Amino acid sequence: MSAESRFLTLLRLLANDPAAQGLVDDVAILPVGDARLILTSDTMVEGVHYLPTDPPADIGWKLAAVNLSDLAAKGAKPVGCLLNYALSGNDAWDEAFVAGLGEALDRHAMPLLGGDTVKMPAGSARSYSLTAIGEATGAVPTRSGAQPGDRLYLSGPVGDAGIGLALASADPAATGPLVEAYRRPRPRLAEGALLAPHATAMMDVSDGLLIDASRMGQASGVAITIDHIPLSPALERVRGASTAVQIAAARAGDDYELLFTLPRGLTPPVRAIPVGHVAEGSGLTLMIDGAVIPLPDSLGWEHG
């Protein structure tokens, strides 16, 4: 069990309100009248979630985007957000961060409502947290609703951000669609809103396709088979499409595409890529080119 899993086990003793969903999802769902508030929070730490050489405007954008992606996975409309910010001691850096954050908030109509600031000791790693609030008036799919017989889909390819991170690590001045995927992910809010009434389960792929599909299967009490790992043309031009490349793409994370299940025979209402199916049982199976592939030791990103 990872350190993150052990800590969550302790927190579940406190998170006993139904809105917390047992801390098995990325959001809390709080009923308010006829609607439900969708609450989510993400933290980004320098050297853990982004490179020290990443442009501050891109870091601000990404902090908003990863929270918006959690709202997208519930079909929620953004209502507002709260920012907790560790001052960097560099006014120009802080201003650029705020500009990038503001660009993302304006693009997705999510106003900043408040938050907190703290001044860190010189040389400390920068860290920031954003809590996003959304509203859902219709069905809210969780990660625990997948049913035997369902088909598994992705809203787009995986692996671009992982390669983008490698390129940016090697050259901070690198540009192009792969670096863009890493630095400025696009939350699938429109797709999530259209999918929510139909999806039996839905979550975003933030930690890697393999580990997130495994989590969906565990939460739903079903077995999941992944039989296709979609790669973008940009990734294939740089890395090819070997089995090793496909497995790396499925483990990389930071994709923020929507992973969802639909009843067999139901056509997705958005552009989507079929990547597998759901069956009775438990566990995750990976197939590439029709052959069962042993799962890697690490399925994706975990803290500790």
* CATH number of 118's domain: 3.30.1330.10
206 among the known binding-site residues? yes
207 among the known binding-site residues? yes
CATH of the domain at 288: 3.90.650.10
42 among the known binding-site residues? yes
Alpha-carbon distance of 63 to 58, in angstroms, equals 9
**Number of domains observed in the structure of the chain:** 2
Residue 124 in any domain: the answer is yes
116 among the known binding-site residues? yes
Alpha-carbon distance of 21 to 10, in angstroms, equals 15
160 among the known binding-site residues? no
* Same-domain pairing of 184 and 75: no
Per-residue model confidence (pLDDT) at position 13? 82
* Same-domain pairing of 281 and 173: yes
Per-residue model confidence (pLDDT) at position 180? 98
Residue 145 in any domain: the answer is no
Per-residue model confidence (pLDDT) at position 24? 80
* Same-domain pairing of 271 and 218: yes
171 among the known binding-site residues? no
Per-residue model confidence (pLDDT) at position 303? 59
Residue 144 in any domain: the answer is no
User: Backbone dihedral region of 143: left (phi > 0), alpha (psi from -120 to 50 degrees) or beta?
Assistant: alpha
Per-residue model confidence (pLDDT) at position 122? 81
Tokens of 231: 């790669």
Q: Average pLDDT of each block of 10 consecutive residues along the chain (304 residues)? A: 79 84 86 92 93 97 98 98 93 96 98 95 90 95 97 98 98 97 98 98 97 97 98 98 98 96 97 98 97 94 67
* Same-domain pairing of 129 and 183: no
Per-residue model confidence (pLDDT) at position 19? 85
41 among the known binding-site residues? yes
Per the structure, the complete domain to which residue 158 belongs is given by 151-293
220 among the known binding-site residues? no
Per-residue model confidence (pLDDT) at position 1? 64
Per-residue model confidence (pLDDT) at position 304? 54
